[in-house]
Amino acid sequence: MIWITIALLIGLLALSIPIAAALAALGLTLDYFYSFLPLRLALGEMSWGVSTDFILFAIPLFVLLGELLLRSGIAERMYGAMSQWLSWLPGGLMLSNIGPCTLFAAVSGSSVATAATIGTVAVGEIERHGYNERLFLGTIAAGGTLGILIPPSIVMIVYGALTETSIPQLYLAGIIPGLVLAGFFMITVIIACVWRPAWGGDKIAISWGQRWSTLPDLGPPLIIFVVVIGSIYSGLATPTESAALGVLMALVLAGWKGRLTATMLREALEGTMRTTAMIMLILIAATFLSFVVTSVGIGRQVTELITDSGLTPMQTMWMIVGLYLVLGMFMESLSMMIATVPIITPVVISMGFDPIWFGVLMMLLLETALITPPVGLNLFIVQGVRTKGQIRDVMIGSFPFVVAMLAMIVVLVLYPDLAMWLPNNVGR
Partner 1 sequence: MDRTLDLAHRLARFGAWSGGALVVLAAVVIGVDIALRKLFVLSIGGASELSGYVLAIGSSWAFALALLDRAHIRIDSLYVVLPTRICAALDILGLVVMLAFAGLLTWQGWHVFYQSFQFGSRALTPIATPLLYPQFLWLVGLVYFVVVIVLLLARASHAFVTGDIATVQRIAGSRTGKEDLEEELESLRRRADGTEARP
Which residue, 116 or 181, has its beta carbon nearer to partner 1?
A: 116
Which DSSP letter does residue 152 get? S
Pseudo-torsion of CA 297, 299, 302, 303, nearest 10°?
-110
**3-class state of residue 255 by DSSP:** helix
Distance of alpha carbon 405 from alpha carbon 385, whole angstroms: 24
Q: How far is the CB of 50 from partner 1 (least distance, A)?
A: 9
Q: Name the residue nearer to partner 1 (CB basis): 181 or 279.
A: 279
Q: Which is nearer to partner 1, 317 or 327 (CB)?
A: 327
CA dihedral 191, 391, 409, 419 (to 10 degrees): 90
Report the nearest approach of partner 1 to the CB of residue 272 (Å).
Answer: 6
8 Å CB contact between 316 and 351? yes
Calculated CA dihedral for residues 129, 135, 137, 138, nearest 10 degrees: -150
203 DSSP assignment: P
Q: Provide, rounded to whole angstroms, the least separation between the CB of residue 323 and partner 1.
A: 16
8, 29 Cβ separation under 8 angstroms: yes
What's the CA gap between 116 and 384, in Å, rounded? 8
Q: Which is nearer to partner 1, 133 or 241 (CB)?
A: 241
Return the number of the residue (73 or 90) whose C-beta is nearest partner 1. Answer: 73
How far does CA 193 lie from the centroid of its chain?
A: 28
The residue (of 177 and 239) whose beta carbon lies closer to partner 1 is: 239
- Given the complex with partner 1, which of 177 and 220 has the nearer CB atom? 220
Between residues 59 and 402, which has the closer beta carbon with respect to partner 1?
59
DSSP secondary structure string, 303-318? HHHHHHTT--HHHHHH
Which H or E element spans position 238?
none
Instruction: Kindly tell me which of 22 and 298 has the beta carbon lying closer to partner 1.
Output: 22
CB of 251 to partner 1, least distance (A): 8
CB of 399 to partner 1, least distance (A): 19
- Pick between residue 259 and residue 300 the one whose CB is nearest to partner 1: 259
Helices (H) and strands (E) in the chain, counts: 21, 0
Least Cβ distance, residue 131 to partner 1 (angstroms): 22
**Spatial separation of the C-alpha atoms in residues 69 and 268, rounded to whole Å:** 10
Question: Smallest distance, Å, CB 304 to partner 1?
Answer: 29
Cα 417 from Cα 422, distance rounded (Å): 8
Q: How far is the CB of 179 from partner 1 (least distance, A)?
A: 27
Q: Which amino acid appears at position 229 of this protein?
A: I
DSSP state of 204: P
At 282, phi and psi to the nearest 5? Answer: -65, -40
CB of 260 to partner 1, least distance (A): 12
Report yes or no: 289 and 342 within 8 Å, Cβ to Cβ: yes
In the complex with partner 1, the residue whose CB is nearer, 28 or 182, is: 28
CB of 187: closest distance to partner 1 in angstroms?
29
Residue 240 CB, nearest distance to partner 1 (Å)?
7
From residue 229, alpha-carbon distances to 70, 241, 252, 318 in Å are: 19, 11, 18, 32
Please check whether residue 70 is in contact with residue 113, taking contact to mean a CB–CB distance below 8 angstroms: yes
168 cis-preceded (ω within 30 degrees of 0): no
On whether the CB atoms of residues 131 and 230 are closer than 8 A, the answer is no
